[in-house]
Amino acid sequence: MNEPDFPIKLESGAPMVRFAKVRKSYGELTVLDDLDFDVQKNEIVSIIGPSGSGKTTVLRMLMTLEQIDHGVIYVDGEPLTHMGKNGKLVRANNRYVRSMRSKIGMVFQHFNLFPHMTALQNCMEAPVQVLGMSKQEASDRSEELLQMVGLEDKIHQHPARLSGGQQQRVAIARALAMRPEILLFDEVTSALDPEVIGEVLGVIRQLAAEHNLTMIMVTHQMGFAREISDRVCFFYDGKIEEQGSPTKLFDNPENERTRQFLSAVLDAG
């Protein structure tokens, strides 16, 4: 792919994440429509919107789980899946993409824990296998992380023996074990029973308070988005329809679609 209109590198002071005219379609269906979207370092951004609006696709593209049809994503000023060649941006090789991907971690709706490993092994796996950390060090750090998410008594359990809320907390610890600079949360409470949603949100709240992580969340938890976000983006039809501080977006939405969406979800829940 040739992207002559995009810089090979952003100038210093660039945002942590920049989507520049990113387009993604599946066949006829356009999921992201020339999306421009910036996230600053250590910013906490919530993405809300109706299903099919492209919210999750934003996260999946940033995690390199989906390919970009057109446009460029920059992370920390560098293109995520492109590299400069003879002054032009071309699709990057795997090695480059892996080096970029190491800055990003993701927590999934369905946890996706490795069922054949204990909670501790889930957290140790990538530090040992990818970062080459010693088992001792990885184990110590993973134990610390599992303690942080309140699961110190579950470290030797397999996922099958954990509740959904506990599994999701392990998944958060597992993502943190790779020390990402950007952490993506993809509807992380949507598959949970109502009574355990709180424990997962509690962990995210704690991470947010420490504020040394850029966080992008796709969520249906409006109250939570309002509480912890620096900025909320309302997605509609593959574009950001409206964005702003939580107070502005939730209390004084300017856009008619935002108003309709908010009144629908707030009535329902």
Tell me how far, at minimum, the Cβ of 219 lies from another protein, in Å.
18
How many residues interact with another protein (rule CB under 8 A)?
30
By CB under 8 A, tell whether 10 contacts another protein.
no
Q: With CB under 8 A as the contact rule, which of the stretches 22-30, 73-81, 158-166, 246-254 interacts with another protein?
A: 158-166
By CB under 8 A, tell whether 160 contacts another protein.
yes
Task: Select the residue interacting with another protein from 54, 105, 238, 253 (CB under 8 A).
Answer: 105
Task: Select the residue interacting with another protein from 18, 24, 55, 101 (CB under 8 A).
Answer: 101
Tell me how far, at minimum, the Cβ of 60 lies from another protein, in Å.
8
State which residue, 183 or 240, has the beta carbon closest to another protein.
183
Per-residue three-class SS string for the chain: CCCCCCCCCCCCCCCCEEEEEEEEEECCEEEEEEEEEEECCCCEEEEECCCCCCHHHHHHHHCCCCCCCEEEEEECCEECCEEEECCEEEECCHHHHHHHHCCEEEECCCCCCCCCCCHHHHHHHHHHHCCCCCHHHHHHHHHHHHHHCCCHHHCCCCHHHCCHHHHHHHHHHHHHCCCCCEEEEECCCCCCCHHHHHHHHHHHHHHHHHCCCEEEEECCCHHHHHHHCCEEEEEECCEEEEEECHHHHHHCCCCHHHHHHHHHHHHHC
Task: Select the residue interacting with another protein from 8, 83, 90, 126 (CB under 8 A).
Answer: 126
By CB under 8 A, tell whether 185 contacts another protein.
no
Question: Which residue carries 């250590």 as its tokens?
Answer: 42
By CB under 8 A, tell whether 178 contacts another protein.
yes
Buried b (16+ CB within 10 A) or exposed e, 91-103: bbeeebbeebbeb
By CB under 8 A, tell whether 169 contacts another protein.
no
Tell me how far, at minimum, the Cβ of 156 lies from another protein, in Å.
10
State which residue, 71 or 105, has the beta carbon closest to another protein.
105
Task: Select the residue interacting with another protein from 5, 93, 130, 263 (CB under 8 A).
Answer: 130
Positions in 205-264 near another protein (CB under 8 A): none
By CB under 8 A, tell whether 4 contacts another protein.
no
By CB under 8 A, tell whether 115 contacts another protein.
yes
By CB under 8 A, tell whether 129 contacts another protein.
yes
Task: Select the residue interacting with another protein from 135, 161, 205, 211 (CB under 8 A).
Answer: 161
Cα separation of 184 and 110, whole Å?
14
Strand partners, 79: 74
Q: State the residues that interact with another protein by CB under 8 A.
A: 63-65, 98, 101-102, 104-106, 108, 110, 112-118, 125-126, 129-130, 157-158, 160-161, 171, 174-175, 178
